[in-house]
Chain A
């Protein structure tokens, strides 16, 4: 909690009030305790209070139960990551207490359920312990049938008092969540909430008040990355999709299945990954740019079909929510190890577009961009997201929907003639004519995976294969020329440039800010367009002594770096490009990045010294 001086001793009278600009709260329990709900309430409240917020959660990959955490970072200023160390830990069980005390900063506050937790005397001197019989007080408040239910809302009350949160707004959120046919549910929730709030009054050692938010730019919406992606696809005009369930992609297909019919569309659950990509391609061929998606293993299954869409030049949007791999890997953890399969997966020379959103808001806009690129260039486009963005909640400025929503229904107006694979266009793109369109020349096009002539009829001609391969490549080159050069966070030259992609942008920027505050010469960029790469990177890289590509994946057989590092190395042949990698299935902590950068610099200084 920045700007705070935590009281060293427990005051006897009214709790001390400190003004803070941000707080990190970690809630640890089991997955069925509804701790995600507390986090969700807090995030939503922050959004409605024009504060920045970011959450982080872990869920076990078991069917039901198992330890789970939810961390919320709320700030009046900019929030770039979910935070390294918590200011407050709320622990429900002994295992939550013991497993997460290390994530609490020294001197932090631990609120623990005294019904389940025996505090460790050694830790009691390092952290402020506040014992609260959460379970029994919850039962007392809402009756004996409550069992474990309701203690999450009781705890929300505790936190609300502790951070002087806006009670009417929270009550409204509780009403929105629990209000419904059975009035007793909302009533019990409010009872639990006020019991928690009331208990805090006499028992807390210190309370906090957030400073006014610096952010005053209109209404915010609060959602996770998968929700933003699904809604972005709808705004983009996508009205058809097909998929197969797999974590962490499934929420997108569930959302689209539920939402698309409102817009006259539908999302089909298929028998397998291959059928789902094929259905989406079929719809794309028929004139309705469609979406399919999956996570690692499912993407592997789809690759042959995606190659067809590349060859036949049919638009397709593929969402890949990366998780820990290879194979079934770590289904509920984050890893950035699907860059290669997204860029190169499949046989033959078949480039594809890969866009990696870096935060929740970006998921929304990336979806629209992906659809428009797919339509213009008649190609598969990957949206390469990951488990961390998929599940984390952020608040962002509400988009102007009237402006961003688009209608991409097919145009079936009669044409005089049509060559789907016209070789004479300058950038290789052709406006597709779809089934249902009358072609007056009487010559109808075939979409095909065989090498073909301009009408889509098969050919074995070496000349045509060369021309068509070049045509397909040219599309990506002309797209690349239109892409924006990434913005540099920090000065445009210096010792170290950190390069990141996807969900790591936040912690990387925060690491840069901290390093610069400590006097180091560090900047960063985030690469959103992974394939094709945007122009201007070579120039940026040349102005730094070290280019460290920070990724959550392995350093590779040759130790050059992870999947993006390898791609950049082969593209720019710049030996300054090296990787900083990890494979623990968790997001980067700011501290971890800084430690690894400094280790690298120390190694390099030793080497230079040895050479001198």
Chain B
């Protein structure tokens, strides 16, 4: 990720080095080496293109298997880790961000990617979305938003538009949908971008920018569910007669209010980086606390530091 990561000390003890000299001789991974299980998604699912672009990102940026960790919660898109030949975890519904936070804060040496759907991010995991964003914990989070619960076969999702007919809203959805971009900006996410699976180059561009961002990088990626919400995003796809509008060139990405305004645009809205703000990450802040305190105990072994505490308890 960005250079500042390397300044964050790895927690105490040594991480045995992985023979760094050998890394320079290693060839970049091929798609074949990165791909694991064949995806279980329905033919035509938007998630295929997100996966393909994740592979492309790994290839392009010469990331190693062991340095990537792919994490997901529960949902169609959350099957992601199984399809990637790298360390990964398929966690419980809605809590992938909290799990990933534990990885991020204890292992700053890893590239952390979290993939999930709209239910995971904004319904069951809504609380964690807000708090991971506000704490600015370093990771890249891609939400494949399809506006429907697909794995459980067509129930209303928190992003389903009003009137959407699902098995739990036979007469059309009555609850006002969440606007993921507004949610992210309001929560304090330091990188907020929007893309769609039908524009591969743009997806890759956003993934790279999010990965390079030192902080919590959030991408909403529209990803069509051809089975339960066909055509949901046609208005954003020029090949289906829609329009793909990029964020205006003169948009100031550090202007929170302007970003919020862009997010309020009616569908299909804008695509690109809405908001970006460089602020210290939780990782860096915790490392700062460690550095300050360790300064006082320089040269002491762990047991000697503990001994000092025990000496005060006599």
Whether the Cβ atoms of B127 and A272 lie closer than 8 Å is yes
Q: In chain B, residues 254-313, which have Cβ atoms closer than 8 Å to a Cβ of chain A?
A: 286, 289-290, 292-294, 296-297, 301-307, 309-310, 312-313
The contact string, 1 if C-beta is below 8 Å from chain B, for chain A 98-113, is: 0000000000000000
Whether the Cβ atoms of A264 and B12 lie closer than 8 Å is yes
With A227-B313, A438-B66 given, can you name 9 additional A-B contacts, CB distance below 8 Å? A176-B312, A262-B293, A262-B297, A278-B101, A278-B102, A282-B101, A409-B12, A413-B18, A439-B66
Whether the Cβ atoms of B131 and A275 lie closer than 8 Å is yes
Instruction: State A101–B309 Cα separation when bound (angstroms).
Output: 38
Task: Give chain B residues whose Cβ lies under 8 Å from the Cβ of A266.
Answer: 11, 105, 286, 289-290
**A-B contacts, CB under 8 A, total:** 225
B44 → A minimal CB distance (Å): 22
Instruction: State A96–B155 Cα separation when bound (angstroms).
Output: 61
Whether the Cβ atoms of B105 and A444 lie closer than 8 Å is no
Instruction: State A181–B106 Cα separation when bound (angstroms).
Output: 37
Q: Is A131 in the interface zone, CB < 8 Å from B?
A: no
Whether the Cβ atoms of B102 and A401 lie closer than 8 Å is no
Q: Is A189 in the interface zone, CB < 8 Å from B?
A: no
Instruction: Choose among A48, A223, A237, A450 the residue that contacts B90 (Cβ–Cβ < 8 A).
Output: A450
Instruction: State A402–B301 Cα separation when bound (angstroms).
Output: 9
Instruction: State A221–B314 Cα separation when bound (angstroms).
Output: 5
Going nearest first, the 4 A-B pairs with the smallest beta carbon separation are A282-B102, A409-B13, A264-B12, A278-B98
Whether the Cβ atoms of B33 and A442 lie closer than 8 Å is yes
Instruction: Choose among B90, B103, B110, B290 the residue that contacts A446 (Cβ–Cβ < 8 A).
Output: B90
Q: Is B69 in the interface zone, CB < 8 Å from A?
A: yes
Instruction: State A264–B314 Cα separation when bound (angstroms).
Output: 25
Whether the Cβ atoms of B313 and A221 lie closer than 8 Å is yes
10 contacts between A and B (CB under 8 A): A261-B290, A264-B11, A266-B105, A270-B98, A271-B131, A405-B306, A412-B18, A435-B69, A437-B18, A448-B90
B209 → A minimal CB distance (Å): 24
Q: Is B60 in the interface zone, CB < 8 Å from A?
A: no
The contact string, 1 if C-beta is below 8 Å from chain B, for chain A 493-528, is: 000000000000000000000000000000000000
Instruction: State A290–B106 Cα separation when bound (angstroms).
Output: 10
Task: Give chain A residues whose Cβ lies under 8 Å from the Cβ of B222.
Answer: none
Whether the Cβ atoms of A436 and B306 lie closer than 8 Å is no
Q: Is A274 in the interface zone, CB < 8 Å from B?
A: yes
Whether the Cβ atoms of A234 and B306 lie closer than 8 Å is yes
Q: Is B109 in the interface zone, CB < 8 Å from A?
A: yes
Whether the Cβ atoms of A222 and B306 lie closer than 8 Å is no
Task: Give chain A residues whose Cβ lies under 8 Å from the Cβ of B101.
Answer: 268, 275, 278-279, 282
Of all chain A residues, which has the CB nearest B289? Answer: A261
Q: Is B128 in the interface zone, CB < 8 Å from A?
A: yes
Task: Give chain B residues whose Cβ lies under 8 Å from the Cβ of A47.
Answer: 314
Task: Give chain B residues whose Cβ lies under 8 Å from the Cβ of A438.
Answer: 18, 64-66
Instruction: State A271–B132 Cα separation when bound (angstroms).
Output: 9
B interface residue numbers (CB < 8 A to A): 9, 11-19, 33, 36-37, 64-67, 69, 71, 81-82, 85-92, 95, 98-107, 109-110, 127-128, 130-131, 286, 289-290, 292-294, 296-297, 301-307, 309-310, 312-314
Task: Give chain A residues whose Cβ lies under 8 Å from the Cβ of B305.
Answer: 262-263
Of all chain A residues, which has the CB nearest B111? Answer: A435
The contact string, 1 if C-beta is below 8 Å from chain B, for chain A 217-248, is: 00111110001000100110101101000000
Q: In chain A, residues 417-434, which have Cβ atoms closer than 8 Å to a Cβ of chain B?
A: 434
Whether the Cβ atoms of B106 and A401 lie closer than 8 Å is no
Instruction: Choose among B65, B67, B87, B289 the residue that contacts A442 (Cβ–Cβ < 8 A).
Output: B65
Of all chain B residues, which has the CB nearest A265? Answer: B11
B297 → A minimal CB distance (Å): 6
Of all chain B residues, which has the CB nearest A284? Answer: B102
A393 → B minimal CB distance (Å): 10
Q: Is A286 in the interface zone, CB < 8 Å from B?
A: yes
Whether the Cβ atoms of B65 and A286 lie closer than 8 Å is no
Instruction: State A434–B110 Cα separation when bound (angstroms).
Output: 11
Instruction: State A402–B310 Cα separation when bound (angstroms).
Output: 12
Task: Give chain B residues whose Cβ lies under 8 Å from the Cβ of A164.
Answer: none
Task: Give chain A residues whose Cβ lies under 8 Å from the Cβ of B102.
Answer: 240, 242, 278-286, 290
Instruction: State A237–B12 Cα separation when bound (angstroms).
Output: 10
Q: Is A122 in the interface zone, CB < 8 Å from B?
A: no
Whether the Cβ atoms of A435 and B66 lie closer than 8 Å is yes
- A271-B128, A411-B16 known; A442+B109 contact, CB < 8 A: no
B93 → A minimal CB distance (Å): 8
Task: Give chain B residues whose Cβ lies under 8 Å from the Cβ of A409.
Answer: 11-15
- A261-B294, A398-B310, A444-B88 known; A240+B106 contact, CB < 8 A: yes
Task: Give chain A residues whose Cβ lies under 8 Å from the Cβ of B128.
Answer: 271, 274-275, 278
The contact string, 1 if C-beta is below 8 Å from chain B, for chain A 466-481, is: 0000000000000000
Whether the Cβ atoms of A304 and B69 lie closer than 8 Å is no
B145 → A minimal CB distance (Å): 22
Whether the Cβ atoms of A446 and B313 lie closer than 8 Å is no
Instruction: State A283–B103 Cα separation when bound (angstroms).
Output: 5
Q: Is A532 in the interface zone, CB < 8 Å from B?
A: no
Task: Give chain B residues whose Cβ lies under 8 Å from the Cβ of A205.
Answer: none
Whether the Cβ atoms of A414 and B18 lie closer than 8 Å is yes
Whether the Cβ atoms of A240 and B105 lie closer than 8 Å is yes
Task: Give chain A residues whose Cβ lies under 8 Å from the Cβ of B88.
Answer: 444, 446-447
Instruction: State A179–B110 Cα separation when bound (angstroms).
Output: 46
Whether the Cβ atoms of B18 and A279 lie closer than 8 Å is no
Instruction: State A286–B103 Cα separation when bound (angstroms).
Output: 6
Instruction: State A406–B106 Cα separation when bound (angstroms).
Output: 18
Instruction: Choose among B14, B65, B89, B314 the residue that contacts A285 (Cβ–Cβ < 8 A).
Output: B89
- A271-B128, A279-B98, A449-B92 known; A436+B105 contact, CB < 8 A: no
Task: Give chain B residues whose Cβ lies under 8 Å from the Cβ of A446.
Answer: 81-82, 88-90
- A438-B65, A443-B85 known; A265+B12 contact, CB < 8 A: yes
Instruction: State A286–B71 Cα separation when bound (angstroms).
Output: 12
Task: Give chain B residues whose Cβ lies under 8 Å from the Cβ of A284.
Answer: 102
- A272-B127, A283-B103 known; A305+B66 contact, CB < 8 A: no
Instruction: State A439–B106 Cα separation when bound (angstroms).
Output: 21
Instruction: State A473–B43 Cα separation when bound (angstroms).
Output: 39
Whether the Cβ atoms of A442 and B85 lie closer than 8 Å is yes
Q: In chain A, residues 432-464, which have Cβ atoms closer than 8 Å to a Cβ of chain B?
A: 434-439, 442-450, 457-458
Whether the Cβ atoms of A275 and B92 lie closer than 8 Å is no
Instruction: State A264–B69 Cα separation when bound (angstroms).
Output: 23
